[in-house]
């Protein structure tokens, strides 16, 4: 995969780490509770990923705006 910049690379790496964490959550979930545990983890972890990604996105948008003049 090719990234346009370091921000994209960091977001992709974070997504992979989140995937691995959710995979572990599913594996460790009690029998019959996998989906409920996964949904809860997505609610908790998904917000954190978005919180971390937002400043990178804003900085990238600002940089693009500055380049356009």
Q: Give the whole-angstrom CA distance, residue 68 versus residue 64.
A: 6
Please report whether residue 49 resides in a domain: yes
Range of the domain at 58: 7-68
Q: What is the DSSP string of 4-56?
A: SSHHHHHHHHHHHHHHHHHHHHHHHSPTT-HHHHHHHHHHHHHHHHHHHHHHH
Q: How many domains does the chain have?
A: 1
Please report whether residue 52 resides in a domain: yes
The confidence score (pLDDT) of residue 7 equals 82
What 3-state class would DSSP assign to 3? Answer: coil
| pLDDT at position 67 over 80 | no
The confidence score (pLDDT) of residue 68 equals 67
Please report whether residue 29 resides in a domain: yes
Please report whether residue 48 resides in a domain: yes
The confidence score (pLDDT) of residue 20 equals 92
Please report whether residue 25 resides in a domain: yes
Q: Could you report the per-residue pLDDT of 11-58, keeping only the tens digit for each?
A: 888 889 888 988 999 899 999 998 999 899 888 877 877 787 788 778
């Amino acid at each position: 995969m090719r990234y346009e910049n370091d921000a994209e690379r960091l977001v992709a790496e974070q997504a992979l780490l989140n995937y691995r964490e959710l995979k572990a959550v599913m594996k460790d979930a009690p029998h019959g509770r996998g989906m409920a545990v996964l949904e809860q983890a997505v609610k908790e972890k998904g917000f954190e990923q978005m919180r971390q990604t937002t400043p990178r996105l804003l900085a990238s948008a600002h940089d693009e705006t500055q380049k356009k003049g």
